[in-house]
Structure 1
């Protein structure tokens, strides 16, 4: 059994799952709560769908229908790495520098 909790409500039938525990009743690594206590905090499911990881620019986000217990993944843009952020900033700065240089050249050549 898998415990899903810490939901972030999107609407009445859709919540993002904030916490997943794959062995909630394990004596050593479990959550130390009864099934009734866990069901009061979240839901318990038998299994989860397998996310497809075909696009490296996306990350799977697990969603649940809190009423039915149906689970599914939706894919969101992955945050940029530090190197990707820096490369993007360099491109922006180079574009700004070219605009500034073109404007300066136009002023000096008049």
Structure 2
């Protein structure tokens, strides 16, 4: 998700990943402070449509409801869901439950 936001929001100049070491994180910050643009991203970035569909799923919509709202074929929604889960590295529901439990 960090890559998606970086790609779509010019105010985000870099991403510090959770497994970046302290030296790497410090170097990224140093480069930004001296005005360098960091073009390196790691991992996959969701497309706009994937992000939209994921948002509906996290909000509780089922694939049939999403297909109706977006005026798309249910098979397309299911294909998008599979791609999202592949890029995110897990089932959307499991990822949402895990992230939601961390916040509370």
Output the TM-score relative to the length of structure 1. 0.24
Larger radius of gyration: 1
Between Structure 1 and Structure 2, the one with more helix by share is: 2
Q: Of Structure 1 and Structure 2, which has the larger fraction of its residues in strand? A: 1
